[in-house]
Chain A
Amino acid sequence: MENNIPLTTIQRWMQSVIEHPGTNDEAWNSEQAQKELPFDEAYANVLPSKTLTPVERIGIYRKMFFLRMTESMAIDYPGVKNVLGEFEFDRIVAEEYVKKFPSHSYTLNHLGRYFPQFIQETDLRNKAFLYDLSRLELSITNNMDAEESPIVHQQEIASVQPDQWEHAILIPIAALEMLEFDHNVCEYLDAVIEEVTVPEIKNERTFVVVYRKTYRTYWDILSSQQYFLLSALVSRKTFSESIALLVEQFPDSQEELQQKLFEWFNEWVSSGYFSKIKLR
């Protein structure tokens, strides 16, 4: 005979138990779980095995859930994990982050999307550094999945006539993002990835371009002037507008800038930052 607990009730109950941090007992007795199914009814509806109680059987799913969440987040955020330490990282992800931002996506790749926001809203030691580092790590993760774009080659650049440059607009590749930080996040993350001693956490204005070339993701540090110019270019300002803005922003370095401009530009083209030149 069929007992009549609706499918949706069983599922809402089981999900609330799986997602509840803490012990099995706390999860089964949580307000949310009790709201779906009172303990006794839920207990009677999960069959014991010869060796495991209903609580232990659902406990297998609970453990796997938190392991999957913490492992998935650790892949995206090795730097943040290193700052917090494994225990604290796992605790924060399991007890706080996935509760606040449960996965609504078909893929675990999206699980970490709100981690910088979460860090900003949470009371943590080294919070400002962690916020910067998490933004860098999220940008790197997103970069790996961004659309592939064709790239502009040096020959195309060479074929642009001098009078065409003034109005030329450079279209960046899809897999390029520019970020500003107040800490030495690149240095820190590189050390974590290379498994060498991490540097001390420092306040340090840092300008970064995250980009992909031949399906590999890179993050390069730029000077403030480079960052300013590249930001202008990728925001679709014309070549001459971008240079004018740069000179206006850094009036004291005008001569030096003129010397360096083409060197930078060549480097950026060969790094594959641009997918197209639009000429008027």
Chain B
Amino acid sequence: MSRSLGRVAAGDTGREQRSPGEEDFRSYYGRRVLKEPVWEWLVPAYLFAGGLSAACAELAAGADLTRRPRLRKAARLGALGGLATSMYFLIADLGRPERFHHMLRVAKPSSPMSVGTWILVAYGPGVGVAAAAELLPARLRRRWPGKLIGALARPAGLASAAVAPGVASYTAVLLSHTAVPAWNEARDRLPFVFTGSAAAAGGGFGMVCTPVDEAEPARKLAAVGAVTELVTSRQLDERLGVVSEAYRTGKAHRLRQWSEYLTAGGALGSLLAGRSRAAAVTSGLALLAGSALQRFGIFEAGVQSTKDPKYVVVPQRRRVDRGEQA
């Protein structure tokens, strides 16, 4: 049968004609082929909080080694706060939260969620000990448990800093290792968007919470992260074929556009943030918000790409018609 019958022949007679210029494809009454992700806003919030925590852990370890006590304190607490909220989001999004620990009954290399669970298991304790050392009241520091925590803080912080890059990047694989077209097709670029976004958030957090004379590394990290995020995020809009449309349209587009404004503004602001605390706080907040909106935008693009059969059928049909291997 000729393809020119288009969607009409697909049993959806007279429905939802696509505007001219749009791909012609066939479907079952225009219905979705894939299931929408069952995840809600908690998952993009997790992505943001986890990235923030990872970048803070890096800043904390560096600040510790280069004797910047106020940056160290802020970053260690940021790392713990980010981790704790991300764990809450992660567990709350389960259909059976009380069965969270079932994640710990296997270690499965083929499941990025399993790999991520074990990355977090390796990451968490160091973050906890380092933050505990900052929170310990002075009178407890002189007793032996306090002394022990004080002595362990540096190695613990360094250990978590060693795992932190994994925390910041594995979430990209978590999303890409799915059949969701917008996430799967972005698999080569998403890790860079995510680590960039994490660095921008962590740097921004450091700028907000630390006096300017100690915050130079945070400003630099924020700038590097923001530029990485801005450049690689654009590629999602342009280089993913049909699927790019999911990033360029609708709510995903609006979220990511605001993310771009805030991240670019924050990056520019970070250049001035060495002189003014007000500028540092403003640009730091902008970077944090930009990073969060980026995660929500990417999440939304994925959801949209499962709702419209176009994103599944058009690329696959093209591949079949060209006789290409999957």
Report if A and B associate in a common complex: no
